[in-house]
Amino acid sequence: MRFNTTYFHHFRNIGPQRRAWSPGFNLIVGPNGAGKTNFAEGLNIISGWGPFEPGAKIASLVRWTADGREERASLWARVEGEAGRETDVFASLSVRTTLKWDERAIGAAQMRARLPVLSFLSGHLSLLKGGASYRRQLIDRVGALISPSYALRLHDYRKALRQKAAILRKRQDPRIANRALAPLGAWLWTAREEIARLIGGNLSVFAALQTSPLSLRFVRGGGGRLANPSEDFRRSLVEAHDRERAACIPLTGPQRDDLALFCDGREASAALSRGQSRRAASALLLASALTVERSLGKKPVLVFDEATSDLDEDGREAITSALLSTGCQIFATTTEAFRPDYLTVHRMREGRFE
């Protein structure tokens, strides 16, 4: 898949402007505050993922008029599939987001399946150095793209988890709530283990980005004692019962899962420098994109915000070469252009492309 043309209207600080895009590497260059990240967020929204900030109100993304009236924002794009067929996609933003594919309203999950986009923010270094939530988010994004039921099961699990948390805060027995959690949690453990296996198997494709081979292992949150996910989840809930009641929070389940990343047998976060970590994180992201491509049979669009920050010339060259090798359409933002001789460069200032 790829974006051929976009037009954003009343969205954040982006000026109304039709823009055509290269099917390859699009480098968006501009100073801080130019609107580069806002444009990347627009691609994220129109492809069914929503705002970059979890829980952000849609109304906060809409531009206001000089006299204080709220405008309705609209995002339009013409996209092209693997077979060369062009389709118009549309997102209308006011109190909520309305998505359309070829003038027909569709849900976010349907849009993600038809227009697979993987967006990565400047903080993707946190995949190695940060907390487990960053790595769970990566697994969840890949899972939502390759499995139609993944996002639904995850939503149902989180709803049941909130109910259990409320029960624990009231100092009540959570065993009834556990009956609803157990099948959903075990299903997510199984799915996440498979996703981690696929991503790990694709890491070798991007060996040029790794100082030493990177490996990963899925870690079940509060579990891992038994091989069978269903049995392991039930046993872990029983063993954590007293501790959960004392702590008043759920201690077992996918909400505590993690990916353990290793380099030369050591934890990658400790073994690698900052520059090496950014390159290794990029390898992990590209392995995830390859997992999506091989599962869906079509290439995702890759959106990187400040993908090459904190890197020297050799590091920028390595990541750029790796991105180009995917054959995906790429949108990468940066404050400073590099190697524009073989990249399509789009310069941006004050919300407009020059």
The two tokens of residue 264 are 């030369």
Half-sphere exposure of 339 toward its Cβ, with a 13 Å CA cutoff?
Answer: 16
List helix spans (H) across the chain: 36-46, 108-114, 126-129, 132-146, 150-169, 175-202, 229-247, 268-271, 274-296, 313-325
In DSSP terms, which residues pair with 40 in a beta bridge?
A: none
**pLDDT confidence of residue 153:** 95
**pLDDT confidence of residue 131:** 87
Q: Which CATH number fits domain 1-116+299-354: 1.10.357.10, 3.40.50.300, 3.40.190.10, 1.10.238.10?
A: 3.40.50.300
**pLDDT confidence of residue 70:** 55
Domain ranges (residues) in the chain:
1-116+299-354, 124-297
Only one residue has tokens 């996918």, namely 254
pTM across the whole model? 0.87
Q: How far is CA 349 from CA 17, 29, 31, 303, 346, in A?
A: 13, 9, 7, 19, 10
Task: Give 302's contacts (C-beta < 8 A, 6+ positions apart).
Answer: 117, 118, 120, 289, 323, 326, 328, 329, 330, 331
3-state SS, residue 76? strand
Low-confidence ranges of the chain (pLDDT < 70): 55-60, 63-71, 122-125, 307-310, 337-342
Q: How far is CA 251 from CA 67, 118, 130, 161, 209, in A?
A: 50, 30, 20, 11, 36
CATH superfamily of 124-297: RecF/RecN/SMC, N-terminal domain (1.20.1050.90)
**pLDDT confidence of residue 310:** 67
**pLDDT confidence of residue 10:** 84
Burial of 167 from C-beta contacts in 10 A (0-12 / 13-18 / 19+): buried
3-state SS, residue 185? helix
Sheet holding 2-9, edge to edge: 17-20, 2-9, 73-80, 86-93, 97-101, 104-106
